Chain A
């Protein structure tokens, strides 16, 4: 995780430098009326698949724009942005982590997501709901409470009144899911979209309490964006009909 983040930031700064050198800065873009240059998007780990798809489509309709993603837990991304990481767009998995960013402008909610119980293919332990996560010897992974999927899991578990003791608190939803895929845990609370993206390897068990912990996903052009024109265009694309279709196909709910 650390390596990926570092590599992304390193690559991003190279691209940013290259962009400045080539004279394709935001000013030039706005003047010509079209957007160009690099756009750096910091997005919640649960957006990995859908934003990668959206990024490719956006690039094909906007020649000259290069979208770079940094996917991680929303809380880690918020910390990185506050410490000066070069981001143009921030898409968080909860308003709380968005609010933690000092340079956020006015965020727009673009999708909603809710939790499911991810289990091994075929559900060998026969888990049907949160109460099934308390069995002896049953291993459960949750996200750490600082990340949105962990906060949502805590809300849902508290609402159910079931006492779930996880064996590990993972740094983002993808890490929690990978523990199920590896067979190291029997179940993990992840977003419906993550379970859907890994449908070949895991099954999703829906549970009623997840309706009490629905996460709103806000997206914003950061006030410190180096390429505000490109960033605005990308956010508009995410909010467009095309963007909403990709996201709802991935299992997100429209707000």
Chain B
């Protein structure tokens, strides 16, 4: 028995690693370290970062409220068309986000299917608002949470829930007192994935919510606009912030929740 790693596996593995890391090295190499502190303090940078953190956190809360019950339904309740529902949930996962943004406009925009009614009945219009950003981010991030939580629910030992049921617990009590604590790590992992996806959201946001500093211009939009205006250095600084924030949060949570068994 030899422990040597076979070359046909090692070479592509190393190439894959380089492929993933090289662009980040490129970003660091072009970072203007000297002017970095001044750039970081620019109001538009602070504003975009604040908006990004706020909207992605709100989107994660919304996804938890809607996604955990949805995952439970898929994992624990037999109903006709369950496979179809599961397939539909994964659509936003494979859909280009720009297409998602257009779809959101046609559904929730001022002339959209539901948006028209929201506007005439309540005077609510979602495009060009911070709420619109949260909706766009939730739309693309929700499948990540549902899939992660459903996986955790399927992996959890259902005998605990059955024992609770035989002891007279209602399905709701079982859910809150047995199921939720049991799959808490899975929910946390799903929430982190969901948050990271929401933080990086670009296409659906710019299409559905537009682009205005302080209201709908999140970090990815600010990066794009800065790059488009020819300020490469500014775009690099904004990208670096986004990179540091996401890596820091993922690293911080990894040890607690995301460690593989």
Contacts and interface: CB of A to CB of B under 8 A. Distances in A.
Given A79-B227, A79-B230, 14 more contacts: A3-B98, A73-B228, A79-B228, A139-B128, A144-B228, A147-B228, A168-B216, A169-B212, A170-B211, A171-B225, A182-B110, A183-B110, A183-B111, A185-B128
18 contacts: A1-B98, A73-B228, A75-B229, A76-B228, A79-B228, A139-B125, A139-B128, A146-B225, A146-B228, A146-B230, A167-B128, A168-B212, A170-B210, A170-B211, A171-B225, A183-B109, A183-B111, A184-B110
B96 A168 contact: no
Interface in B189-238: 203, 206, 210-213, 215-216, 224-225, 227-230, 232
B100 interface: no
B186 interface: no
The residue in B125, B211, B213 that gathers the most chain A C-beta atoms within 10 A of its C-beta is B211
B251 to A, nearest CB: 29
Interface in A120-144: 139, 141, 144
Interface string A133-163: 0000001010010110000000000000000
A184 B128 contact: yes
Nearest to B232: A79
B67 interface: no
Interface of B: 96, 98, 105, 109-111, 125, 127-128, 203, 206, 210-213, 215-216, 224-225, 227-230, 232
Contact of B210 (A1, A2, A167): A167
A82 interface: yes
A104 to B, nearest CB: 13
Q: Is the interface of A mostly helix, strand, loop or mixed?
A: loop
Contact of A168 (B211, B230, B232): B211
Contact of B211 (A3, A79, A83, A144): A144
A168 B215 CA distance: 9
Nearest to A147: B228
Contacts, number: 69
Interface of A: 1-3, 73, 75-76, 78-79, 82-83, 100, 139, 141, 144, 146-147, 166-171, 179, 182-185
A184 B109 contact: yes
Contacts of A100: 230
B212 to A, nearest CB: 5
Contact of A169 (B105, B109, B211): B211
Nearest to A145: B229
A246 to B, nearest CB: 28
Contacts of A170: 210-211
A139 B206 CA distance: 16
Contacts of B213: 169
A18 B213 CA distance: 44
Nearest to B227: A79
A226 B59 CA distance: 47
Contacts of A144: 211, 225, 228-229
Contacts of B127: 167, 184
A170 B210 CA distance: 7
* Nearest 9 pairs of A and B residues by beta carbon: A168-B210, A146-B229, A183-B111, A167-B128, A76-B228, A184-B127, A79-B230, A75-B228, A169-B211
